Chain A
């Protein structure tokens, strides 16, 4: 078994014009040097805003698109996703981001069809459990399903398979919170049974709750990759504190986005800020000296991390 289920390096993909006309300006670069490594057996989150190239990357992994000539290398389950597509597809299951189904077929028929197309054996018990868990009515025609229900059909077909790799493109974008919870439980179960999952998303709490490692992409390029802890190591802590006396934070380096409310209802001063982790001990001393009443510290959510990441990038780009 390979140590890495997916290895992609320097992927480039251009749309919109013949390649020899690429400099004509009408072409769009969907991927521009994407690196992605997914280890066997992990849940890997693939994060990026809309239009970052997540879906294009997944379609290359599926062999539906081919990277530009000389545009990087990609290996999936030890094979070439373009050349060995049919063989590899027997070992993976895919849930597209925008699930469209044949309107005249029922959900149950489509679940069966998809698993037969993959070449799976019939596992009726697992299928029934998943239909129960996701509360899907399999006898309805696909045209009558809402977006969330169409997504459930694709998810059930993927989860019911015995594929070793699951490629999920924004799988929860149409699900309600209850179903999202059911989805998380299902993914946790997959991880413990040793399946590899690549989960693209722009919903960061999902990655936080599920993923072992994260790759963040923007404009078709990988900007960050690692475990969540590794990413947070580079980051700041959010501090929310109430003190009896005002604390002066303006002169201290490493404290960002500070807001100070002079007199709260309790007659205290309230400070909110983002702190570089190296400065945290010094700030805590200052707060104690100022008569600390209450304090909450928490690691930043991926949202904050994400927002700052892009804000920083945009700033450096506009500066250059």
Chain B
């Protein structure tokens, strides 16, 4: 059935007596024509993206299961790990409550909430991509003019979300028994992850109806996800005496309340399934109440004239990029403050496993366990900041491809000034992220371990010591943008991926020294605790600046667009 006319309003089109069924009450006539075609088309568009997400989620869980089996072979070592981790509020905040001390329970603790978080992210991006993003770009208008029902687009996006999460559930429940975990617990764990994804499918479907911009809709869904994480974290960390009911409020907490591998409470699965159903009903009800392209939240008018500060390419770059930097900085504050605070009990925790101690000292590059842990955190801060830097530099390419470079370059703006504007935002952003990460770690650790002032200053320095290495990675992206624009995204992300892989796994794989040296992060002194040497920092900075210069020189010589 196709509905050609829009919805009928009461008082309009009322014909002879009694014709008040269906449409006359103001609801759009239900039509799903074309859903199957659209869903298959969406799966085709996502044929790379969805397998990649599923791979990351499943491999992450399996890697954790494997690690726990390897590091904690005896029941006694597991019990000791369970006791120390349950008494460390920061770890409980980060990972959740630990139910029991079997391999399965440890895996579910260490990665359950995070796997569910990734499933939720996958689903948010998927649903918004096929609903509001298509609508905003005008593609939906084209599709909607074909023989396609009014509800088909949303229905097909939800169908694809169900498919993706079911695939994740099947893979997980098949994979986990291979690591010696009981089948019932494996299935419970897999369903906990997948139903969390589904709950967020409902939330994203509603968010997609609220705003006219896909970016804002994605933002709403991610804020709900962040709130779910925080409520669960606070509820868990507060313990039984505190407001532990907070964990029950939003989907992420439900994954641990299901208690996989620790006496499964199957009925908890009703919560995410019910919220998925409620999300669907609400989203379809909202679609009926709005026009194509419109959101329910009004698009507020902005300034009719530009503020005096918006006057050149640098201020434009800042204006375009600061919201993303602010979001990154907020993430840094939470992540590193919590991880820093978790460092207090790290000696005890590691004491139970020689293998884990070896892992930490390898990553941190030094024997003293707390320093090794904090240095490892700063390496993580450096790698993440380099990722921010690459993304920010590559914004230049996105602006160029979106025809947004032309209006700037058609003004009296040199190419170097334009290119430098975004590179400068990247450099300033990386520096402030590293400073934020260092400060947050120092504060988090110092407040729990004492001597907060000392730790804040030390960790600030340790964080900023990563800046030259991040400069090299961002510089590679900038050089690629100037010299080989088409390949710039591939080159930039490959450089980051290589540096990450070498820094995290290089020594485990016992790669030769010259290979490890290819990562700029291998040359950063291990701080705190390591020997400070300005020489490598100096020449890393020089290489980074030279790469940026090379990119800008290339930009002057090539065609734009």
Determine the chain B residues whose CB is within 8 A of the CB of A102 once the complex forms.
Answer: 316, 320, 404
Q: If the complex has contacts A108-B303, A108-B305, A109-B302, are A65 and B410 also in contact, measured as CB distance less than 8 A? A: no
- The one of B136, B410, B414 that contacts A62, using a Cβ cutoff of 8 Å: B410
Number of interface residues of B (CB under 8 A): 34
Q: Is the interface of A mostly helix, strand, loop or mixed?
A: mixed
Q: Is the interface of B mostly helix, strand, loop or mixed?
A: loop
- The one of A93, A116, A118, A139 that contacts B302, using a Cβ cutoff of 8 Å: A139
Chain B stretch 274-333: residues in CB contact (< 8 A) with chain A: 299, 301-307, 310-313, 316, 319-320
Number of interface residues of A (CB under 8 A): 42
B52 at the A interface (CB under 8 A): no
Determine the chain A residues whose CB is within 8 A of the CB of B406 once the complex forms.
Answer: 59, 62, 64, 94, 96
Q: Do B305 and A112 have beta carbons less than 8 Å apart?
A: yes
Give chain A nearest CB distance to B308 CB in angstroms: 9
- The one of A100, A104, A141 that contacts B320, using a Cβ cutoff of 8 Å: A104
Determine the chain A residues whose CB is within 8 A of the CB of B301 once the complex forms.
Answer: 106, 137, 139-141
Q: Do A89 and B320 have beta carbons less than 8 Å apart?
A: no
Give chain B nearest CB distance to A214 CB in angstroms: 24
Chain B stretch 503-546: residues in CB contact (< 8 A) with chain A: none
Q: Do B302 and A114 have beta carbons less than 8 Å apart?
A: no
Q: Do B410 and A94 have beta carbons less than 8 Å apart?
A: yes
Determine the chain A residues whose CB is within 8 A of the CB of B402 once the complex forms.
Answer: 100
Determine the chain B residues whose CB is within 8 A of the CB of A303 once the complex forms.
Answer: none
Give per-residue flags for B406-419: 1 if the beta carbon is below 8 A from chain A beta carbons, else 0: 11111111110000
Q: Do A117 and B412 have beta carbons less than 8 Å apart?
A: yes
B213 at the A interface (CB under 8 A): yes
- Cα separation A138 to B303 with both chains bound (whole Å): 8
A105 at the B interface (CB under 8 A): yes
Chain A stretch 50-72: residues in CB contact (< 8 A) with chain B: 59, 62-66
Determine the chain B residues whose CB is within 8 A of the CB of A98 once the complex forms.
Answer: 403
- Cα separation A139 to B299 with both chains bound (whole Å): 11
Give per-residue flags for B204-221: 1 if the beta carbon is below 8 A from chain A beta carbons, else 0: 000000001100000000
Give chain B nearest CB distance to A309 CB in angstroms: 30
Q: Do B316 and A86 have beta carbons less than 8 Å apart?
A: no
Give chain A nearest CB distance to B318 CB in angstroms: 12
B19 at the A interface (CB under 8 A): no
- Cα separation A255 to B311 with both chains bound (whole Å): 62
Closest 10 A-B residue pairs measured CB to CB?
Answer: A117-B411, A112-B306, A106-B302, A90-B412, A109-B306, A94-B410, A108-B304, A139-B301, A64-B560, A139-B304
- A residues touching B (Cβ–Cβ < 8 Å)? 59, 62-66, 85-87, 89-90, 92-94, 96, 98, 100-106, 108-114, 116-119, 137-141, 143-144, 154
Question: What are 22 contact pairs spanning A and B, CB under 8 A?
Answer: A63-B409, A64-B409, A64-B410, A64-B561, A92-B410, A98-B403, A100-B402, A105-B319, A106-B303, A108-B302, A108-B303, A111-B306, A113-B311, A114-B407, A116-B306, A116-B311, A117-B311, A118-B411, A119-B412, A141-B301, A143-B136, A144-B299
